[in-house]
């Protein structure tokens, strides 16, 4: 049981990091210097789906962390 929870924790942590990195930048940042800040326009549907995936992964990560802390 402990190994299964640890594997779930590890997989969700990696997936959560990747999902967060896939989000588009909200601000201009350093891309504004070279004029690359708003090259492709907005992708609202992609962002909405990515927000849902990120939220689900975060909930799974937190629940597995709580279960691990209570049981072991």
41: left (phi over 0), alpha (psi -120 to 50) or beta: left
H or E element at residue 15: helix 2-22
Q: Say what the pLDDT of residue 45 is.
A: 84
**Distance, CA of 8 to CA of 23 (rounded, Å):** 23
The residue among 4 and 45 whose pLDDT is bigger is: 4
**Token pair of 60 as six digits:** 């799974």
Mean predicted confidence (pLDDT) in 7-14: 98
pTM of the model: 0.76
């Amino acid at each position: 049981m402990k190994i299964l929870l640890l594997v779930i924790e590890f997989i969700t942590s990696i997936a959560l990091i990747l999902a967060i990195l896939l989000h588009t930048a909200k601000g201009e940042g350093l891309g504004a210097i070279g004029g690359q800040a708003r090259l492709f326009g907005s992708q609202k549907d992609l962002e909405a789906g990515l927000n849902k995936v990120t939220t689900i992964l975060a909930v799974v990560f937190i629940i597995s962390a709580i279960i691990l802390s209570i049981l072991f």
